[in-house]
Copies of this chain bind each other. A is one copy, B any other.
Amino acid sequence: MKAYPEPLDQLIAALSKLPSIGRASAERIAFYLLKQRKEDVGHLSQLIGNFKAQIFYADHCHCLSDSKQCHICTSPSRDRGIICVVESPKDVISIEKTGSYFGTYHVLLGSLSALEGIGPGDLKIEDLLERIRKDKVREIILALNPNTEGETTALYLARILATLPVKVTRIAHGIPVGSMVEYTDQATLSRALEGRLPVKT
């Protein structure tokens, strides 16, 4: 039995494919849009249609940007001598939100994965080496994910960078703030012990 008119049915089907939207939410959104003013719906349609053409991976650092030069790299208040290496543009956003990092970023656009067939040539490693040479970089902070792919990538990068006159560090892994020792998994706890720091008094 055909319950919805065709255009509505197609929209609901398309919305259901989006992450975190199920069939029921898609129906709710479609009916919501049906009630909105035509201009507002047209605006949303345009935003979706145009944003892909307006967003690039910036040259050199591969952060998401609306121009070829990323606003972090070009900011006079950022220290271009420190580069934080991350896997995806989302990681940049997360670190920016902390408000406690004032260097620049380098997005690898992935991590080494034998399973998915992603090798060093698929990541933006060459660009990173070029930046280190050009910008007289003093420190590379590896902020890769603590999983198999991230660890492999970190190890690979650390070996390559060891030949260059640059300090290589990793962000600390340990007990999350607000969590408890009792409930922390063994892998995290052992990393927290390895990464122990002298107490300042």
Binding site for B on A (CB under 8 A): 1-8, 10-11, 14-15, 18-21, 25, 28-34, 38, 41-55, 64-66, 71, 90, 92-93, 96-97, 99
The copy count of this chain in the complex is 2
A4 and B93 contacting across the interface, CB-CB below 8 Å: yes
In the complex, A52→B45 CA distance in Å?
Answer: 11
In the complex, A90→B47 CA distance in Å?
Answer: 28
Query: Given contacts A21-B29, A28-B20, are A5 and B66 in contact (CB under 8 A)?
Result: yes
Query: Given contacts A19-B29, A31-B90, are A8 and B44 in contact (CB under 8 A)?
Result: no
**Which chain B residue lies CB-closest to A65?**
B5
A–B complex contacts, Cβ < 8 Å, 30 sampled: A1-B96, A2-B71, A3-B96, A4-B64, A4-B93, A5-B55, A5-B71, A6-B54, A6-B66, A7-B47, A7-B51, A8-B55, A8-B64, A10-B47, A11-B48, A14-B43, A14-B47, A19-B25, A19-B28, A20-B25, A20-B28, A33-B48, A33-B51, A38-B53, A41-B49, A41-B52, A42-B49, A44-B48, A45-B46, A45-B49
